[in-house]
Amino acid sequence: MKRFLFAAVVALACCQAGAGDVRTLTGSVTSGDEGAMEGVLVSAQQTGSPITVTVVSDEHGRFRFPDGRLAAGHYALRIRAVGYELDGPQAVELGAAASDVALKLRKTTDLAAQLTNSEWFMSMPGTPEQKRPLIECMSCHTFERIVRSTYDAEAFFPVLKRMAQYANNTTQARVQSRLAEREVHDDLVRKLAGYLATVNLSSGPTWPYELQTLPRPKGRATRVVITEYDLPRKTIAPHDVRTDAQGHVWYSNFVENFLGELDPKSGAHREYAIPVQKPGSPTGALDLEADGDGNLWLAMMFQTGLAKFDMATKTFQLFPVQAALDNDAAQQSMVMPRASGVDGKVWSNEVAKQSILRLDLKTGTYALIDPFKFLPKGRLHAPYGMAADRDNNLYFMDFADENIGRIDAKTGATTIYPTPTPKSRPRRTMLDDQGRLWFTEFAANKLGLFDTKTESFKEWEVPTPHTYPYDVFMDKNGELWSGGMASDRVLRLDPQSGQSIEYLLPRPTNIRRVFVDNSTNPVTFWAGNNHGAEILRVEPLD
């Protein structure tokens, strides 16, 4: 058993205003075209601070930073309003007196630089079948690099072939190659290359289609405060994020072998090094889950196996997969330890074998379970998001297909439940205390509910097309919170009424696992920006 390494303790500048240090920043946003503008995100970042606070202008074009969030000092200002850029002022000095700034916006000369992946999806011509493979591209980069390229179909072909050999835990800041070559069908690559050459700049200096944009936030969607915590290295890729009882934020790093901890109150950031088990294999972890004792577990991706982090001793215990199951392609992306106290078993998955793993904590060995063994061969399956009930029965998402699966902890019997929407690709999930499994239907652009008691489904369309929700969380008020890699928006949806709010985020934001802290009122949403090396806090004001 390897012990943990206390790799880094990085004290970030503390930007929370202390008592007696309260500064008020208010202002207005106007443009020549629209006059007073609603739904403009206004962000303030103090010089030298890793923390950025963002508010949104109301229907009168007014904005106000909450009292106590900004200390005296020099702040850079930035805005987000598609189609516009900040003419000025670019900064403000907060002193003893309250500041009121009048922000002027001008039309942007580079609209393409502002488009989200969702907006590119909306803009690009093509059939759903042609666009569908692109939802994989978002794992590593935005569409901007595709649409700004000048490759023709022939030039795209080797680029796509090369990219297929990158590990899925790759970001632009840290590219990682797979050790085991992945088979890719040339005809599919040619098809995609041909399509991409019709939507990029290979045929001229401008795009042969109109760029479409989503509307700015309005109404309740402007009543929010967003805080971004920059992490100390660009290579940090926060994937799964959750808070503990002390309000500290813990995250898995998708591309480096560290577990991260952030104290949002002080800004202090720490990293705990996870020993590298397979030198040369891609590093980083994906799923981060708590067991019944509050200890954290990580699924170690291509490093294989699971890691348990003892919250009291701050040490790791590693559970490598046995040699018979390990190879260069082996990959554990998920872990579900929540009910392991019942039977001493922890659930995981083996991505390369489209199978479930079950770790016996007594022996340290994994059992391989093929939950699809009675289904037709030749179909792609991928056990992904996991939840366990109080008896440690497993529920899992079949991310490559359209199923939710259940494995009985005692008998091992598998039950497969096809989702009502075909080709839905269920992704991440949570089980609430009423036995309801909330999940995202990534490819179907829906949120789903599977009631484990009645074994029945319900589905809700995500309001913005091409959002491709990654994860969903049911809060204490019965509202759903979701995010993904495409829209730069956090979705808040009331499943009873179907009403929803979408909070636009200040920067391009690649969201994976989402988490809601129910201890605050209103609740607080947390996520990582997987490609942006930041932790994100969204505080609705109602």
Partner 1 sequence: MMFDCGWLRVAVVAACIGIVPTLSHAGGVGFGEDDANNSDDGPSYFGFVREVDGPGVADAKVTAALKDRGALVTRTDIMGVYKIPGFGKDINPDDVAITCAKDGYVQANVQRRPRDPSDTKDPVEVECYLKRK
Enumerate binding residues for partner 1 (CB under 8 A).
Answer: 129, 132-133, 136, 160, 164, 182, 184-185, 188-189, 191-192, 371, 373-380, 382, 399-402, 413-418, 422-425, 443, 455-457
- The C-alpha atoms of residue 99 and residue 467 are separated, in whole angstroms, by 37
Count of CB atoms situated within 10 Å of the CB of 127: 8
What is the gyration radius of the CA atoms in the chain, in angstroms? 23
CB 288 within 8 A of CB 240: yes
Distances (CA, A) of 21 to 47, 67, 88, 94, 99: 17, 10, 26, 11, 14
Q: How far is the CB of 433 from partner 1 (least distance, A)?
A: 22
What's the min distance (Å) between Cβ of 74 and partner 1?
47
In the complex with partner 1, the residue whose CB is nearer, 425 or 512, is 425
Rounded least distance, CB 518 to partner 1, Å? 32
Burial class (CB in 10 A: 0-12, 13-18, 19+), 435: middle
Shortest reach from residue 226's CB to partner 1, in Å: 32
Angle CA(179)–CA(180)–CA(185) in degrees, nearest 5?
130
Whichever of 420 and 522 has its CB closer to partner 1, that residue is 420
Q: Name the residue nearer to partner 1 (CB basis): 192 or 221.
A: 192
Minimum Å distance from CB 80 to partner 1? 32
The torsion defined by the Cα of 349, 351, 352 and 355, in degrees rounded to 10, comes to 50
Smallest distance, Å, CB 407 to partner 1? 9
CB of 378 to partner 1, least distance (A): 4
Nearer to partner 1 among residue 137 and residue 231 (C-beta): 137
Query: CB–CB of 469/444 below 8 Å?
Result: no
Pairing of strands 25-31, 99-107: parallel
| Identity of the residue, 157 or 251, whose beta carbon is nearer to partner 1 in the bound complex | 157
Residue count (the chain): 542
The three-state DSSP-derived secondary structure of 231-267 is: CCCCCCCEEEEEECCCCCEEEEECCCCEEEEECCCCC
Distance CA 418, CA 426 (A): 10
| Residue 445 Cβ vs partner 1, minimum distance, rounded to whole Å | 12
- Structure tokens that stand for 448 in this block: 């789903």
**Nearer Cβ to partner 1, position 94 or 137?**
137
Compare residues 51 and 134 and give the one whose CB is closer to partner 1. Answer: 134
Nearer to partner 1, 155 or 184 (CB): 184
